[in-house]
Amino acid sequence: MIVGIRSIPIGGDVPKAIALIKTVKVHPLKPTPGWPELQWLDLTPAPQDTTPLAWENNIQFWRQLAEVINPEPPNPRFHYFYGELAALGMEKGKPFNPDARMIALLEKAARIGNAQMRVESFDDARPDRIVWPDRKWEWVALRFEDGDFNTANYGDLYARDKWFFQAIGASPAMFKRDPTAGSLYWLGLRDSAGATLDGAKTYKLSVPQPVPGKLFWSVTVYDTETRSQIDSGQGKAALRSMFELKDVSKTQPTDLYFGPTAPQGHENQWIKTIPGKGWFVYFRVYGPEAAAFDGSWKPGDFEEVRQ
């Protein structure tokens, strides 16, 4: 099990938000004698690579999957899926030792599956992905009935694949499309002309003010290869209303810039991108209000700035 905990730094107070996270207690229902209390580690200064690139398109994908299945109790919801894995030699309680033929087949399957999910994530054609008909923005999650992509009649595996490839973890409140939701995400992949965002080009994104969110809003840039925040050497990958954008006008549109070099005079409202690499953004609104859903407010599209 993986659990993600977020604490919003109200007013930009990061230490207070971190202190709030540390009040969370995790323990077994029946702790054994001598069970140690949870220790919180600050990994902020340590270099980290949490991307799956080293194993997502080779046999290590399957070995990692076997390592997850073996210690975990079987989930009844996935009963039939376990059967498919057992046919490949992956069964709880038994060693996973594929022969050379099976390794070749599984590596090919990993590459094909990875390519399929990449297309689903970044070149989707489903009509229900569009947020506003006159914009290029898409819904980050295609299904919003619950956190498991269920409809009344079936589980939407396509939608689940797309979300997993981009972001892995999910919760019901992330997908609700009404003002009772805790957060709202939009996906930006293309410029106003419909072209995919290019790390060698410069773009402007105009955000009308005020953004309809009770807590804060942000635009975060991700690398399409890693699906992690872009690592351009700038030291940041997001523009946030509580930090970089805290002093912008609350009535006039805010112009944000993205490209390999900062447009003169806009250095504080710019995220550096990498030539030769594609990228995408999540536009997040925390504590979204009605205007974020009814179409009375919407951000502009990415407009290429020709230098």
pLDDT recorded at residue 247: 94
Give me Rg for the CA atoms of the chain: 22
Q: How many folded domains does the chain comprise?
A: 2
Instruction: pLDDT band for 145, please (50, 70, 90 cuts).
Output: low
Of all residues in the chain, what percent carry a pLDDT higher than 90?
71
Instruction: Give tens-digit pLDDT for 12-40.
Output: 899 999 999 999 988 888 888 998 888 89
Q: Write out the residue range of the structural domain in which residue 99 sits.
A: 50-122
pLDDT digits (tens, 9 = 90+) for 54-107: 999 999 999 999 999 999 999 998 999 999 999 999 999 999 999 999 999 999
Q: Is pLDDT at 186 greater than 90 in this prediction?
A: yes
CA-closest candidate to residue 187, choices 271, 299, 289, 272 = 299
Contact 65, 85 (CB under 8 A): yes
Q: What is the percent of the chain with per-residue pLDDT over 70, rounded to a whole number?
A: 99
Q: Are residues 72 and 188 in the same domain?
A: no
pLDDT confidence of 144, banded at 50, 70, 90? low
CATH number for the domain that contains residue 242: 2.60.120.600
Cα–Cα distance measured from residue 89 to residue 271, given in angstroms and rounded to the nearest whole number: 46
151 in the same domain as 105: no
For residues 142 and 107, membership in a common domain is answered with no
pLDDT at position 37, please?
Answer: 85
Quote the CA–CA distance of 217 and 57 in Å, as a whole number. 35
Let me know whether 203 and 80 are in one domain.
no
Are residues 97 and 231 located together in one domain of the fold? no
Whether 184 and 273 map to the same domain: the answer is yes
Average pLDDT for the chain: 92
